[in-house]
Structure 1
Amino acid sequence: MESDLRYYLRRAAEERTAAHRSVTDQARERHSSLAREFAERAQACTAPALQAMSA
């Protein structure tokens, strides 16, 4: 089973690729927005682990 972190990282990469390949500005913007959202979720997954390491 894929972890949340790996899923969000994979989806962010897929959306960045889709944005790069998009033909229209609207599609490019939407894929870029989704890529940022998934990257933020991935970062949120790592925050608790980093806090635990520093404690």
Structure 2
Amino acid sequence: MESNQRYYFRRAAEERMAAQRAITDNARQWHARLAQQFAARAAEAESLSAA
């Protein structure tokens, strides 16, 4: 089973790639925002697992 941290890191990477492929500026911003949110969740999960 995949850990939360690994899932969030993977989703952040997927959303960054989707932002690069996006055609419209609106879609690019949406995917970039999602990537930031997933990266923040990954960092939070990492700090919780280290504690």
Q: TM-score, normalised on structure 2?
A: 0.93
Where does structure 1 lack aligned partners over 5 or more consecutive residues?
A: none
Q: Which has the larger radius of gyration?
A: 1
Aligned residues: 50
| C-alpha RMSD of the superposition | 0.6
Q: TM-score, normalised on structure 1?
A: 0.87
Identity over the aligned pairs, expressed in percent? 58
Where does structure 2 lack aligned partners over 5 or more consecutive residues?
A: none
Instruction: List structure 1 segments (4+ residues) > 4 angstroms apart after TM superposition.
Output: none
